[in-house]
Chain A
Amino acid sequence: MGVAQRSRRWLVPVTAVAVVAGVGALGPVVADASPDLPGITAQDLLAKVQTAKVDGLSGTVTSSTDLGLPALPGMAPEANQFLDLLTGDHTARVAFAGPDKARVSVLDDMAERVLTTDGKTAWVYDSSRREAAKINLPARPAKPEVAPEKETYDPQAAAKKFLAAIDPSTKVEVSGTESVAGRDAYKLRLIPRTDKTTVGSVTLAVDSKTWIPLQVTVMPRTGKDPAVQLGFSSVSFDVPAASTFAFTPPKGVKVTEKTVPAAPDKQVTPPATPKKSTPTKPERSGRDHPTVIGQGWDSVVMVRGQVPVAGNGPLDQLLAKAPTVHGSWGSGKVLTTKMVSALITDDGRIFIGLVTPDTLQAAAAKAPR
C-alpha cells in the first residue's frame, strides 16, 4: 500500500466531519424553507388573527430569551420561582381547552414545574422541591389565575398583547411566509416608528389555517440575534382530554392551599418586563403597584421600594460598574442591556423599560415622587 493510498484513507474521517457539520448547520435551514401561500394584506391577516378561535390545542413550546440581562440574584427571591423563565432557553408542554382549562409543564433539567387548571382549581407543582400548591379559583374568573404564567409561555397571549399595542406608532406589514412547527405560516412584522425604544421589530408567525399565532420573535434595534423567540416546536389542534388538566398531588408531597378572592385587580404591566409577580404569590405588602409612564413602545414602568439590600455581591458589583446619572429627578445608576434599560434612583425608585436610557431619564423627570 503506497503512502498516497494510505493518506487517502483520512478522507473518510474528513468526510464524516463534513457530513456531520453539514447536517448540523444546514438541516434547520432546509426545514425552514418558506412555504408557498397566497398573498394577504396585513389588515386581513390582523383581522383573521383577532377572530381566530380554537377549542383546544396541545403542543410543545420553546422559548429562547436573550435580553442581555445579567442574572439578578437577590431580586425578590420569593418571586424567583418563575423569573428564570425570562432568561435563557426553556421548553414547556402546553395544553389548552376552551374556555378555561389549561396546563403548562415547564421541562427543566431533571425537574418539571407544572401549572394546571380545570377552571375551578389550579395546581402548581414543583418536582424538584416536591411541593404542590392548590389554588381555589373564584366562581367565575374572567381569566384563570394562571394567566400571567400562561402569557410567558403561550404564544397566543404574548402575540395578542403586542397586537393590542398597535397604533400609529407602529408600522405593520406581512413580510413573507415561514414554516413553524411543521405548519405553513404568514409572517406579520411590526416595526416601531419611534427610535426611543430598543425594540427593532416584532414578528408573528401566523398559522395559515387556524390563524393562531405560532411564534413570536422580537428583534433588538441593534444586532442580528432575536432577543426573544417564543413559539411552538410542535402543535396539534385536537382538543386534549379533560384528564390532561386534572392533578392529583402525589404521596409525600407538601401541599399548601390557597383561595383567591373574586375579582382581583388586574395590574398593568407592559410586555416582556421582568417585573411580573408570579401567579401563585399574593401581592407583597408594603410595596407599590408598578406605575406605567408613557405609552406604546416607549412606556416605562416605575417600581418603588424594590431596592435590593446591600451585601448582595454580584448585584453590588453590577451597580458599582453602572454609570451614575443626574437630572432634575435626582440621581441614580443606569443599567443598560441590548433590550432592557433600568434606572435605579438614589431615593429607591426603579424605572425599567424597553427603551433607551435617555427616555428613562425623561420618564423619571415626569414621574410622581
Chain B
Amino acid sequence: MSPSETATTVTRPLPARPSAGRHAVALFASELHLVFGRARTWVTLAVLAGVPVLVGVAIRLSGSEGGTEGFIGQVAGNGFFLIVASLALSLPFFLPTAVTVVSGESLAGEASLGTLRNMLTAPAGRSRLLAAKMVALAVFCLTATMVIWLSGLIAGVVLFPVGDVVLLSGTTVSLADGLLRAFGIAILIALSLLGLAGIGLFVSSLTSTPLAAMAATFGAFIVLGILGAIPQIDVIHPWLLMYGWTSFADLLRDPPYWDAIVRNLWIQAAYLAVFYAAAWARLTSRDING
C-alpha cells in the first residue's frame, strides 16, 4: 500500500498506515515539538545558559588570580576554562535536575492531559512512541550541554583573555584543539545523562502525575548519590550511575585517557537498556486507560 494513497484517506490525529520511516519521523518531530514547545524547557535552558555567565561574572568581579584549585582557578587566566568549569559545575546538580524534569514529564505529562490515551490506541505505535520519547530526551540532553558550551564560550571570550590551552598533563595545545575537546566533553556529559533519562522515562511510564514522576526520579538520583558517598559499600560504587561522571576530564589529558570514558559510557548504556526495557514493558502492557 503506498503512503500517498493512505495519507489522503486517513484522518487525524494518528495516520494509520503511512510508511514506517515517515511515521517515525513525524512522531519524532512532534515529540521534539512537544519538548521544546514547553515554556519550562526554555526556562531550564536559560538557567543553564546563565551558569557560565554567573560563574564568569563572579570570578571577574572578585578578581582572583588563581588560588583556587581545578578548572575554576584557571578561568581568570584563560576564558576557555569557563566552558569546562561551567560544564563540570552543572553536572552534579543543574543538568540532572533538568533531565529529571523533562524525562518525568515525558509520558506522565501526556497521561495527565489525556493525550496518551489517543496514542496508545494505535497498537503498533507504542514501541515507536517510546523510542520517539527517548530520542527527544537525548536531543534535550545534548541541547542542554551545548547551551552551556556556547554560553561558556561567549562569556569566556567577553570576560577574560582567551588563549592556548594547558592540558592536565602540562602540555599546551592550540585554542581550536581545546575547543574541540570541550565540545567532546559536552557530548560526553550529554551521554552521561542518558542513564538518568532512562530512569526518568521508566518512572514516568508508571504514573499519570508528572510531578510524582519528577520527584521519584530525582529521589532515585539522590539515593544513588548517597550510596556513592558511603565508604563502607565501596564494592558497589563502580556500578553506580554517577561513578564515571567525572571521567569527561580525561579528554583534557595528553593523550586522552579513554578507559574511564568508555567504562562510563557502558554504565550509562546498561542503565539505559534496563530502564528503557522496563519502560517498554510497562507501556506496551498497560491498559489504555493507564
Contact = CB atoms under 8 A, between A and B. Distances in A.
Given A127-B168, A132-B170, A250-B170, A12 B277 contact: yes
A253 B270 CA distance: 41
A251 B166 CA distance: 8
B249 A109 contact: yes
Interface in B132-174: 164, 166, 168-172
B70 interface: yes
B4 interface: no
Contacts of A233: 259
A247 interface: yes
Nearest to A109: B246
A10 B70 CA distance: 46
Contacts of B5: none
Interface stretch (A13-21, A180-188, A201-209, A320-328): A13-21
Given A20-B273, A252-B166, A107 B70 contact: no
Contacts of A105: 169, 253
B166 A128 contact: no
A12 B246 contact: no
A129 interface: yes
Given A10-B281, A20-B273, A130-B66, A125 B250 contact: no
B239 interface: yes
Contacts of A173: none
19 contacts: A6-B284, A9-B284, A9-B285, A12-B277, A12-B281, A13-B274, A16-B274, A20-B273, A23-B270, A91-B259, A107-B250, A107-B257, A109-B249, A112-B170, A127-B168, A127-B169, A249-B170, A250-B170, A252-B77
A107 B253 contact: yes
A129 B259 contact: no
Interface in A97-128: 105, 107, 109-112, 114, 125, 127-128
Interface in A208-250: 233, 247-250
B125 interface: no
Nearest to A128: B69
A110 B284 contact: no
Contact of B285 (A6, A16, A91, A109): A6
A109 B70 CA distance: 10
Interface in B175-201: none
A13 B278 contact: yes
A110 B92 CA distance: 14
Nearest to A225: B235
A280 interface: no
Among all A-B residue pairs, the 5 with the closest Cβ atoms: A6-B285, A13-B278, A13-B277, A110-B249, A250-B166
Given A9-B284, A17-B274, A112 B169 contact: yes
Interface residues of B, number: 34
B168 A111 contact: yes
A112 B74 contact: no
Contacts of A114: 169-170
B120 interface: no
A15 B277 CA distance: 9
Interface in B119-134: none
Given A10-B281, A127-B168, 9 more contacts: A7-B285, A9-B284, A13-B277, A13-B280, A112-B169, A112-B253, A128-B70, A251-B166, A252-B78
Interface in B198-238: none
Contact of A16 (B164, B249, B253, B277): B277
B80 interface: no
Contacts of B280: 9, 12-13
Contacts of B275: 13
Contacts of B66: 130
Contacts of A253: 166, 170
A264 interface: no
B28 interface: no
A177 interface: no
B26 to A, nearest CB: 26
Interface string B253-278: 10001011000000000100111011
A93 interface: yes
A129 B273 CA distance: 40
B73 interface: yes
B88 interface: yes
A24 interface: yes
A93 B257 CA distance: 9
A110 B88 contact: yes
Contacts of B257: 91, 93, 107
A60 interface: yes
Residue with the greatest number of chain A CB neighbours at <10 A, chosen from B66, B78, B278: B278
Contacts of B74: 130
Interface string A1-36: 100001101111101110110011000000000000
Given A12-B280, A110-B88, A127 B274 contact: no
Contacts of A15: 277
A24 B249 contact: no
B70 A110 contact: yes
A253 B281 CA distance: 56
Nearest to A60: B259
Contacts of B281: 9-13
Contacts of A11: 281
Nearest to A17: B274
Nearest to A249: B170
Nearest to B250: A107
Nearest to A1: B285
Given A9-B281, A105-B169, A114-B170, A16 B246 contact: no
Nearest to B172: A250
Nearest to A125: B170
A247 B66 CA distance: 22
A251 B172 CA distance: 9
Given A109-B246, A110-B249, A16 B170 contact: no
